[in-house]
Structure 1
Amino acid sequence: MIKAENLSYSFPHKELYNKISFTLEDDVHCAFIGTNGTGKSTLVNMILHPDKYLYDGKLIVDVPGRIGYVSQFYTVEEEKEITVFDYISEEFVRLQNKINQICEDMAATDHLEELMEEYQQTLDEFNAIDGDFYESNIRKQLKTAGLAGYEDQLLTNLSGGEFKLVQAIREMMISPKFIIMDEPDVFLDFQHLNALRNLINSHKGTLLVITHNRYLLNHCFNKILHLENTEMQEFDGNYVDYNFALLQMKIEQQELAAADMEEIERNRKIVERLRNSATAIDSATRGRSLHARVSLLERLEARKTKSPFVDIKQPEIVFHADEVFDAEVSGENPEEALESERKSELGDANAENEAEKIVLSVEDYNVTFDREIMEHVSFVLHAGDKVAIVGPNGTGKTTLLRDVIKGENPAIRLGENVKMAYLSQMHGEVFDEKATVLKNFEDAGFDTDDQVIAYLKTYGFEKELIYSPVCELSGGEKNLLQLAKISRTGAGLLLLDEPTSHLDTYSQLALEQAVEKYNGTVLMVSHDFYTVANCMDYVLLTEDKGLRKVSMRKFRKMIYADHFDKDYLEYEQKKKELENRIAFALQAGKYEDAKKISQELEKLLRKYNG
C-alpha cells in the first residue's frame, strides 16, 4: 500500500528524514511513534498529499479508494451545526443522491453509455463502504464506541473526546481500506479509550496511527514505525517487544562503542610512545613500526562502533507564583507553613485567615446545553491545592474551566489579587497561529529577541523554529509553547485543560515535576491516570451532574475496578519507570547500569506476559 525508499526531506531550518525506508502492507495495524517535533505529522501529510512536497528518494502510495484521515487537532471552526448521525452519513448520502441523479439523467439523455459507466463507478464506491446498510452500521459503531443514543446530538455539543471518536467512526466507515489517525486518543476518558481500542482492533483494513498513549500501544498494533534522529526503525511485532529490543540494542551498541574507544585510546598511547622514540633515535625499523601502528589506529577509528543516539528532549518546565504567602515572608518553609495553615482551619478565631487562603470558590454552579450537564456544583480551592477534575467526556469539565477564566459567572469567585493562567485544548484560543513563535511572545516580558530564543531553547525549541509560524508546529510543540508562555505569567492559579495531550513521555514527566514543585494552585482537567496520580492532591469526580471530592487512594481503587486491570496499571507504571531509567543511564554513558536495569525490566516482562 505504502512504500518509502531512501526518502529524505528537510525544511529550510530543519532536516526531518535522512534516507528512511519502510513499507505498510495490507491490513496491518501500525503505530507511528517518536518524540515531539520529529516530523511524524509531516510524513503523514506527505502520504496524503505527495505531490505537494519536494523530496529525495521514492514514496509510493498505492491505495484503492480514498485515504481516511483523523486529525490531531480539534477546533470549533471545523465543527458543523449538524447532528452526529448526519455528519457520519454525509458521504453515504452524497453517493446515494448521486446515484439517484444519474438514474434521472439516464431517462432523458442521448449519452447513455457515459452515464452507465458513471453509474457503475458510483455504485461500486457505494457498495465498497457497505452503503445499503449504513444507517444500522452507524448505530452499531456508535454503540461500540460507547456513544449509543448520540445520533441526534449536535457536533457543537460534543466534548473533544467524543468528537474524536465520532471522527474515527466516520473515517472507518467511509475509508475502509486505509486510514491514518494522528493522535486519536487525545482528550479521551478511560471508558472511551477502551472504546477506541475496540474500534481499532475490530477494523479490517490498514491503519497508521500516531500515538504516545501506552495503553493503545500495548494493546492495538502488530507493527511499529519509530522516527528518531531523522532515521526510521521498522519493526514487525508489538510495541512491548519492540521497545525492549530497542533498549537492548542501544545498550549493546554503547558497550561496543566503549570497547572500541578503549582499544583506540590504547593504540593512541602506543603511537605516541613510538613517535617520541623515533624522534629521539633515527631508526628505519622504528619508523616502519610507527607507520604500521598509525595505519592500524586509522582503521580502528574508521570502523569504530557508533555510540547509539539516545536523545532525551526533556524540556525544563518551571512554574512559579508571584504571590507570596505570609509563611514565605517570615522565612518559614512554605510546605510546612501550608500544612500548618490547613490544620488551623478549625476554630472561629481563624475564620478570617481561612477566607484569605481561598483561591477559588464555586457555589451552586450550573451548565446547560441541550441538556443539564452540571447542576448545583460547589467547591473551594485553597492556596497550594493541586486538584484534578476527572470524569467521562461531555460532563462539563472544560466548560467549567472556561467559565473560571472568563470571570463572568456569578457562581464563581476568585480570591483577592489572584492571577490566573489557562492552557486550552484549542491552541487557536491562545496563539495567533499564522504569526511566528517569536511574535506570539512579544507580550511575555522579554526585552530582546535573543532572550526569547534562549528561554524557548529550554523548552526544546531550536532557534530556527522561533521564526516559524505556530501553525507549522506539531500538537506536542504547541502544548509546550503554551506551557512556556504560562511559565512567564507568574500566575498563582493554573487552569490546565488536558495539558498532557500530544506530549511525548519525557515532556509529560517534565510537566509532572513542574506541577509538583509549583508553589501555587492548580485546577486541571485530565484523563491521564498517571499524571493525576503522580502530582495531584485529590480529585473532583464528575458524578450525577455534580462534583464529588475523592482522595487519591480511593480514586486509584475506582480506576482499577471500573476501567483497567490493577495488575496491568502497576506493571505499566513500573515498566515505564525502568525504561526511563535505562534511557537516562544510556544518555549518561553508563551502559553497565543500563544492563542491570534491563535485567529487572526483562524479569518484569516475563512475569506479566508469561
Structure 2
Amino acid sequence: MLITCENVCFGYDDKRILENVSFTVNEGERIGLIGGNGEGKTTLLKLLTRDLLPDEGRILTKSNLKIGYLEQNGGFDSDKTVFEEMRSVFSRVFSAIGELRSLEHEMAKTPFGSREYAAIAARYERLNKLIAAEDGYNAEVKIRTVLGGMGFEKMHDQVINTMSGGEKTRLKLCRLLLEQPEILFLDEPTNHLDVSTLFWLEEYLQDYRGAVFTVSHDRYFLDKTVKKIFELENNRLTTFRGNYSKYKILKAEKYEYELKEYERQQEEIASLKEYIDKNIVRATTAKSAQSRVKKLENMTMLERPLPPPKPPVFSFTFGERSEELSLSVNGLTLEAGGKRLFTDAAFEVRRGEKFAVVGENGTGKSTLIRELLKKTHPAVKWGRFVKIGYYDQENANLDGEDTVLGALWFKHTALSQTQARNLLARAKLSEEDVDKKVKSLSGGERAKLSLVLLQAENANFLILDEPTNHLDLAARESLEAALRAFEGTLLFVSHDRYFIQNLADHVLEIENGRVTAFKGSYDEFNTRKKAQAARAEEAAAAAKKTAQTPSYRSKADRAEDARKKARLKEVEISISRTEEEIAALNGEIARPEVAADYKLLTEKCARLDELHALCDGLYKEYETLL
C-alpha cells in the first residue's frame, strides 16, 4: 500500500467538493482520474500530495513515500542548461563515480594495514554498492533516452530560463521520469506534447516501475496507460476496473443495474404496503401483515441512482451550400519568424470533407490556418458561397468585459433573448453564468461560449484550432457528435487523437517542410506512416551498404577495406573484453579479502589504471576506423 484515503471530505467556503472519498493506491498501479470541469480532480491531487489537508477523514501514506507531482503548468526555472539540470538528478551517482576513481589511486599509495587504508577500502566498497544499486554507469544513457523521447534531443545546451512555459513543463516531466518516484502524480501531462512525444511517453510509462496516478482528458492516453479509472461525480468517487473504453461500458451497466434494483425494490415496497393496508385490521391476516411491517422496517432503502450529468449539446447548421470545390491551395510557401515552415503546399478540400491538420509542434499548423483565413494569398482560392466559421484556441474573439449573454447577443442581434439563453443553456452555461463577465469564466466555460458563438454563425465551412482544449470528456464527446452530424466542410487542428480518429476522413500532414494530403482515417494514416518509415529504414540501410561498396575499387583499395573491417572487429572485441575486465576488477577490489592484502590491492589498482588507458585508446581507434 502506498496511499489510503478514508472518508475524505473537502470544500471551499460553503461549497462541498469531495464527500466521503475512500480508496487505496497500491505499488505499481496505473490509475486514471476523470470527471467534469470543477468536480475536484486537481483538488484531490493536492490532498494526496499534502498541498491541502482534508476537512474530514484522513489520508495515510507509506513511510518515507517518494512522490513526484507534475502540475498542469508545473515547469521550473533554472540558469542551468537542459543537460546539466538532468545530470543533477544523478549528482550523487556521478559524485560517487568520481570519488571511486580517486580512491583507487589513494589505496595504491596508502600504507597497508593502516587505519586510513581500512577506511578507504570500506568507503570504496560502499560507493560500489551505491552505484550498482542505482545503475549509475547507465545514468547518461537514461538522460539521453528521456530527453530524446520528450523532444529535447537538440536542446541539451539550451539554458532553461530561456524556454517557453510549455517546454519547462515538459522538462519537469523529464526530470520526474528520471527521478523515478514510487508514485507519479500527473495533472494533464499531455497538454504540451505533440503526437510523436505522446506515443513515446505512453510506451515509457508502460514499463515504469512505480505507480502512476493520472488526471487526463486524453482518451487514447488513458486507454494506453491506465488499468483502473477513478471517476469524480456529484462529489463522490467511484472505481471502475479497466481503461477508459472499458469504463464507458461498465458505467452504463452500473447505472442500468442500480436503476433496475431500485425499481424492483420500489415495486416490492408498494406490494408490501398494499398487503399491509388491506390486512392489518383483519384478525385472520393481522399476523402476516405485521410480519410484512417488520420486513419493511428492516429493509435497507435504496436511493434512486442519479443519472449521469447531461453533457453540453452543440449543433452546427448552415443555410446555403458552398460549391463542390470549397478550397484549393496550390504553391503555398509560408515562413514565420524568419524560418521557412513549408514550401509549395498543394491540396484541395471538397464540400462535406473533414480534414485534420497534424504535425509536430512548430511545423506551422496554426500559421497555415491563419493564412487561409486572410484570403489574400494568390495560392489560396476559396470556392463560391463558402461561409467560414472560425474557432480560435485562445478565444481571442471574446471581450473579457462583456457578459456571457452580451458576448453572444451583441454579435448576433437577430437572436431573441430567449433564443440566446437557450443556446447558452444547451452548452451548460447556466442562468447564473449568463450574467457573469467573460473574464471570470473558467477555461472550459470560455471554450463552450466560443462554440456557442460558432454555432450562431451558421457557417458551412468550419475551421477549428484545438477545439477540445479546456473541455472535459463529456463536452469533447458531445462536440464530436455534433461535428460528425455536421453536413458542411471541416478543417481542424487537434492533438486529441481520439477526436481526430472519430472525425477525420482526410489527414493533412506538415512534416519536414512539406504538406501532404492523405485520404482516409487517422488510424489508416498512422499505418501508412509506419510502413513508410520501415521502407525508408530499409532504403537507408541499402544506400549505406552501396556507399560503403563502390562499383569500382582497385586491388589495394579492396585490401585496405578488408584490413579496416578486420581491425574494426578486433577493436570491438577488445573493447568488450577490456570493459568486462574493468567491471570484474572493480568487484574484486571491493571484496574485503582483497582490500586486506596490500600487495594484491596495489597490483589490481595499477592494472585498473592500465585498463582505463587501454579502453580510451581503443575507443579513439574505433572512431577513426568508422
Measured against the shorter chain, the TM-score band is 0.5 to 0.7
* 1:524 aligns with one of 486, 492, 502: 492
Residues 1:151 and 2:119 aligned together: no
Deviation, 1:18, is 1.3
Question: Residue 240 and residue 87 in structure 1: after superposition, are their counterparts in 2 closer, same or farther (change >3 A)?
Answer: farther
**Cα distance between partner residues in 2 of 1:285 and 1:402:** 87
* 1:557 aligns with one of 515, 524, 531: 524
Where does residue 202 of structure 2 map in the other structure? 197
The residue identity in structure 1 corresponding to 2:57 is G
Question: Residue 431 and residue 309 in structure 1: after superposition, are their counterparts in 2 closer, same or farther (change >3 A)?
Answer: same
Q: How does 1:571-586 map to 2 (within 5 A)?
A: none
Instruction: Give per-residue Cα distances to partners, 1:120-171, cap 9 Å, x unaligned.
Output: xxxxxxx999999876543221233465334357989999997764442133
The residue identity in structure 1 corresponding to 2:39 is T
Where does residue 386 of structure 1 map in the other structure? 354
Q: How does 1:96-175 map to 2 (within 5 A)?
A: 137-145=142-150, 147-151=152-156, 165-173=170-178
Where does residue 16 of structure 1 map in the other structure? 17
* 1:179 aligns with one of 179, 184, 187: 184
Where does residue 495 of structure 1 map in the other structure? 463
Moved more, 146-155 or 228-237: 146-155
Instruction: Give per-residue Cα distances to partners, 1:349-405, cap 9 Å, x unaligned.
Output: xxxxxxxx6457565231345753322223344554432212344422123224445
**Cα distance between partner residues in 2 of 1:389 and 1:256:** 48
Question: Contact 1:422/1:486 (CA < 8 Å) preserved in 2?
Answer: yes
Moved more, 495-504 or 418-427: 418-427
Question: Residue 371 and residue 180 in structure 1: after superposition, are their counterparts in 2 closer, same or farther (change >3 A)?
Answer: farther
Question: Contact 1:368/1:374 (CA < 8 Å) preserved in 2?
Answer: no
Question: Contact 1:41/1:474 (CA < 8 Å) preserved in 2?
Answer: no
Residues 1:510 and 2:478 aligned together: yes
Deviation, 1:501, is 4.3
Where does residue 568 of structure 1 map in the other structure? none
Residues 1:292 and 2:293 aligned together: no
Question: Contact 1:493/1:520 (CA < 8 Å) preserved in 2?
Answer: yes
* 1:85 aligns with one of 60, 82, 86: 82
Q: How does 1:64-463 map to 2 (within 5 A)?
A: 68-72=68-72, 85=82, 89=86, 137-145=142-150, 147-151=152-156, 165-173=170-178, 176-186=181-191, 188-234=193-239, 248-271=253-276, 273=278, 285=283, 288=286, 292=290, 295=293, 298-299=296-297, 303-321=300-318, 324-325=319-320, 342=324, 358=326, 361=329, 363-369=331-337, 371-405=339-373, 420-426=388-394, 429=396, 443=410, 445=412, 454-463=422-431
Question: Residue 473 and residue 64 in structure 1: after superposition, are their counterparts in 2 closer, same or farther (change >3 A)?
Answer: farther
The residue identity in structure 2 corresponding to 1:318 is S
Deviation, 1:210, is 0.9
Specify the SS of the correspondent of 2:212.
strand
Specify the SS of the correspondent of 1:184.
coil
Deviation, 1:200, is 1.9
TM-score, normalised with respect to structure 2: 0.63
Question: Residue 144 and residue 556 in structure 1: after superposition, are their counterparts in 2 closer, same or farther (change >3 A)?
Answer: closer
Q: How does 1:475-494 map to 2 (within 5 A)?
A: 478-494=446-462
Question: Residue 425 and residue 267 in structure 1: after superposition, are their counterparts in 2 closer, same or farther (change >3 A)?
Answer: same
Specify the SS of the correspondent of 2:314.
coil
TM-score, normalised with respect to structure 1: 0.64
Question: Residue 539 and residue 234 in structure 1: after superposition, are their counterparts in 2 closer, same or farther (change >3 A)?
Answer: closer
Specify the SS of the correspondent of 2:283.
helix
| Alignment RMSD (CA, Å) | 5.1
Moved more, 429-438 or 55-64: 429-438
Residues 1:538 and 2:506 aligned together: yes
Specify the SS of the correspondent of 2:269.
helix
**Cα distance between partner residues in 2 of 1:297 and 1:146:** 66
**Cα distance between partner residues in 1 of 2:487 and 2:6:** 51
**Cα distance between partner residues in 1 of 2:213 and 2:437:** 27
Q: Percent identity?
A: 26
Moved more, 137-146 or 461-470: 461-470
The residue identity in structure 1 corresponding to 2:467 is P
Residues paired across the two proteins, number: 495
Instruction: Give per-residue Cα distances to partners, 1:213-252, cap 9 Å, x unaligned.
Output: 3433333235442223321124677667766665554444
Specify the SS of the correspondent of 2:509.
strand
Question: Residue 44 and residue 453 in structure 1: after superposition, are their counterparts in 2 closer, same or farther (change >3 A)?
Answer: farther
Residues 1:31 and 2:36 aligned together: no
Question: Contact 1:183/1:502 (CA < 8 Å) preserved in 2?
Answer: no
Larger Rg: 2
**Cα distance between partner residues in 1 of 2:67 and 2:394:** 25
Question: Contact 2:8/2:19 (CA < 8 Å) preserved in 1?
Answer: yes
**Cα distance between partner residues in 2 of 1:230 and 1:320:** 36
Question: Residue 539 and residue 161 in structure 1: after superposition, are their counterparts in 2 closer, same or farther (change >3 A)?
Answer: farther
The residue identity in structure 2 corresponding to 1:201 is Q
Residues 1:42 and 2:49 aligned together: no
Question: Residue 509 and residue 9 in structure 1: after superposition, are their counterparts in 2 closer, same or farther (change >3 A)?
Answer: same
The residue identity in structure 2 corresponding to 1:401 is I
Question: Residue 247 and residue 523 in structure 1: after superposition, are their counterparts in 2 closer, same or farther (change >3 A)?
Answer: closer
Deviation, 1:20, is 0.7
Deviation, 1:524, is 0.3
Question: Residue 246 and residue 448 in structure 1: after superposition, are their counterparts in 2 closer, same or farther (change >3 A)?
Answer: closer
Instruction: Give per-residue Cα distances to partners, 1:78-127, cap 9 Å, x unaligned.
Output: 8989998269649769999xxxxxxxxxxxxxxxxxxxxxxxxxxxxxx9
Question: Contact 1:162/1:394 (CA < 8 Å) preserved in 2?
Answer: no
Question: Contact 2:21/2:237 (CA < 8 Å) preserved in 1?
Answer: yes
